[in-house]
Amino acid sequence: MNILHLLRDHFRQALLALNIADPDKFLDLVKPATDPRFGDYQANLAMPLGKLLGRPPREVAADIVAKLDLDEVAEAPEVAGPGFINLRLRSDWLANQLLAILPDERLGVAKVGNPQTIVIDYSSPNVAKPMHVGHLRSTIIGDALARTLRFLGHCVITDNHLGDWGTQFGMLIYGYKHYRDDEALKRDPVREMLRLYVLVRQKIKEAGGASEDEEEEAANPIAEACRRETAKLHAGDPENLELWRRMMPWCLAELERIYRRLDIHFDYTLGESFYHPMLAEVVQDLLQRGIATYSDDAVVVFLGDQQPPAIIRKRDGAFTYMTTDLATIRYRIEKFHPQAILYVVDFRQSLHFQQLFTIARRWGYRDVRLEHISFGSVLGADRKPIKTREGGAIELEALLDEAVRRARAIVDANSPDLPEAQRAEIAEAVGIGAVKYADLAQNRTSDYVFNWDKMLAMDGNTATYMQYAYARIRSIFRKGEISPEEIQRVRESPQLPTPEERNLALWLLRLPEAVENAANEYKPNYITSYLWELANAYNAVYQNYPILRAPDETLRRSRLVLCDLTARAIGLGLSLLGIRTVEQM
């Protein structure tokens, strides 16, 4: 049950009774109150309606209140200021709603009435080298969106569109043929491939740099040699194809190990190589339809004076990322029949996706929603993209190892008596949870500064604080020798005798709003903000009122209901973010 939906439905009926045409366009102005002094929810729709009707907003607000039928849900609405309508929910109604969601494993979060098929494209690293911190945001945000949309009942198809066919393989093949260390290759093939990749890049730089301009590239013998190796691979050269096939399992095994550690899973992993056989047909179809044209021996799509043309086949016959992405759209639409395709990719690719979506619509794909879910950068303390001391991107595994190491120190300090294996397991959950939560707690469109101390703090809006709150509630049940299942069978509504308990009840019932907002705006930080408010509301009860030693059995049971629902709401919220809870910490 979504309180906001309920209130908006009541306001819709009131506006219809007042003969307001198209009342739905005003309902977004019914919102949670920003200041609890003014109630729980506030409706600010009288001001625009007053302007529309040519009447004083307070009069319009009074008319709306007269038509509202909220007696069972809220106390008498109040009209304040220039025409605000303030609503305070009845405490007995809140208590009854808590009882209704107590046995519900979804805690009142309903599935959508019109589920859609949604393809989500995220993570998508180049496979010829280890994942680094630059892959962090796409991977974590994409996974959280997939979990949230799937929980709401959508058919979500996740696809890791790997870079497994591009120039980096030409560089690797060249490096393998000229500079490989066979012993190192046996010991750690991925590390040796990374060494070869870095070495070849350095050789290109020493030979005169690299350029997007083919004539300048041709003047660089190393860059030209790598380009030839790439072209041979794409043309099906047996030797290069065999090397590519040999390298791919090494690369995929390394990626899969990281994904398992992050608890991230994909329905499909269809890389650029999968679409390569389709590209010539894509170009030919675009030419036949008059969408693409020849320009200086290349094939391009002109997109107007405001944008550069999009190249879909270079002068040398090579295809581009644009061509591959167009083939990907066609494949996904024909195979999955989605209503939406989401691309979780950083903001620097905005122009590419603008062009891609424009061409796709010209191509006839107008009935599917194509959306670029962009995000900002992870910054170091100097507010520049985070790097190692040597200036390279931090490898993702090294980042996770450091997070777990720091979390282990916290676990050892708080729970030294737990067995070694259990402390190691908790540290893994806490460390990786901290990295994920720190990212997801940000508005995804913003950059954020990576800060270990802040990330692992036990007294702020962090995964560590949420995991600790969950574990602390579970310890109450262990100490009282009460099973949560016993409390979930309670059949009387909880008591809410204090402002703190009533506030906690309100936040428990706002979970559906947070989940829906996160899904609608593709912003997981709605869920982290909710968890922060919920944990603070619970802490106000925990710090001020006894639970196991409540004055009477009815109040004790009532507070245990609040505890159980809080733990389950925290657990559910964290699970939608891909973060594990722990029973002890």
| Strands across the sheet containing 340-344 | 155-159, 117-121, 340-344, 369-373
- The predicted pLDDT at position 212 comes to 44
pLDDT-above-70 percentage for the chain: 97
- The predicted pLDDT at position 209 comes to 55
538 pLDDT band (50/70/90 cuts)?
very high
Mean pLDDT along residues 434-444? 95
Residue 218 has pLDDT above 60, yes or no: no
Q: Calculate helix-pair angle for 238-262, 189-206, nearest 10 degrees.
A: 120
Mean pLDDT along residues 538-567? 97
Residue 516 has pLDDT above 80, yes or no: yes
Query: What are phi and psi for residue 482, nearest 5 degrees?
Result: -120, 135
Residues 6+ apart with CB under 8 A from 93: 72, 73, 74
Q: How far, in Å, CA of 351 to CA of 362, rounded?
A: 17
Mean pLDDT along residues 440-445? 95
Residues 6+ apart with CB under 8 A from 141: 122, 344, 373, 375, 439, 440, 444, 524
Q: C-alpha 465: how far from its chain's center?
A: 20
Q: How far, in Å, CA of 303 to CA of 305, rounded?
A: 7
**pTM for this model (two decimals):** 0.93
Give bridge partners of residue 80 from the DSSP assignment: 84
Residue 217 has pLDDT above 70, yes or no: no
Give bridge partners of residue 372 from the DSSP assignment: 343
- The predicted pLDDT at position 82 comes to 92
Give bridge partners of residue 159 from the DSSP assignment: 121, 268
> Which tokens is 532 given?
């922060």
pLDDT of 68-109, one tens digit each?
999 999 999 999 999 999 999 999 999 999 999 999 999 999
- The predicted pLDDT at position 392 comes to 62
- Pairing type for strands 117-121 and 155-159 reads parallel
Mean pLDDT along residues 14-26? 94
214 pLDDT band (50/70/90 cuts)?
very low
Provide the b/e sequence for 172-209 (b: ≥16 CB within 10 Å). Answer: bbbbbeeebeeeebeeebbebbbbbbeebbebbeeeee
3-state SS, 100-149, equals: HHCCCCCCCCCCCCCCCEEEEECCCCECCCCCEHHHHHHHHHHHHHHHHH
Mean pLDDT along residues 374-397? 78
Contact of 501 with 565, CB cutoff 8 Å: no
Rounded to the nearest 10°, the torsion over CA 472, 473, 479, 480 is 160
pLDDT of 106-151, one tens digit each?
999 999 999 999 999 999 998 877 788 889 999 999 999 999 999 9
Residue 439 has pLDDT above 60, yes or no: yes
Mean pLDDT along residues 31-37? 92
Contact of 489 with 522, CB cutoff 8 Å: no
pLDDT of 448-501, one tens digit each?
888 888 888 888 899 999 999 999 999 999 999 999 999 999 999 999 999 999
Calculate the alpha carbon distances from 546 to 9, 255, 314, 411, 549 in Å: 39, 49, 72, 27, 5
391 pLDDT band (50/70/90 cuts)?
low
User: Mean pLDDT lowest for which of 127-131, 283-287, 505-509, 547-551?
Assistant: 127-131
pLDDT of 298-341, one tens digit each?
999 999 888 899 999 998 888 999 999 999 999 999 999 999 99
Q: How far, in Å, CA of 445 to CA of 423, rounded?
A: 36
63 pLDDT band (50/70/90 cuts)?
very high
> Which tokens is 575 given?
């699970």
Q: How far, in Å, CA of 273 to CA of 543, rounded?
A: 58
**Averaged pLDDT score across all residues of the chain:** 93
- The predicted pLDDT at position 201 comes to 87
Mean pLDDT along residues 254-262? 92
- The predicted pLDDT at position 215 comes to 44
Compute how many other C-beta atoms are within 10 angstroms of the C-beta atom of residue 420: 8
Calculate the alpha carbon distances from 352 to 95, 158, 212, 267, 359 in Å: 51, 21, 16, 25, 11
- The predicted pLDDT at position 341 comes to 98
> Which tokens is 279 given?
């590209």
Contact of 462 with 432, CB cutoff 8 Å: no
- The predicted pLDDT at position 388 comes to 55
Mean pLDDT along residues 234-259? 92
Residue 187 has pLDDT above 50, yes or no: yes
CA atoms within 13 A on the CB side of 275: 27
Tokens 């339809």 belong to residue: 289
> Which tokens is 373 given?
């879910």
In the chain, what are the domains? 3-89 (3.30.1360.70), 162-264 (no CATH)
Residue 13 has pLDDT above 80, yes or no: yes
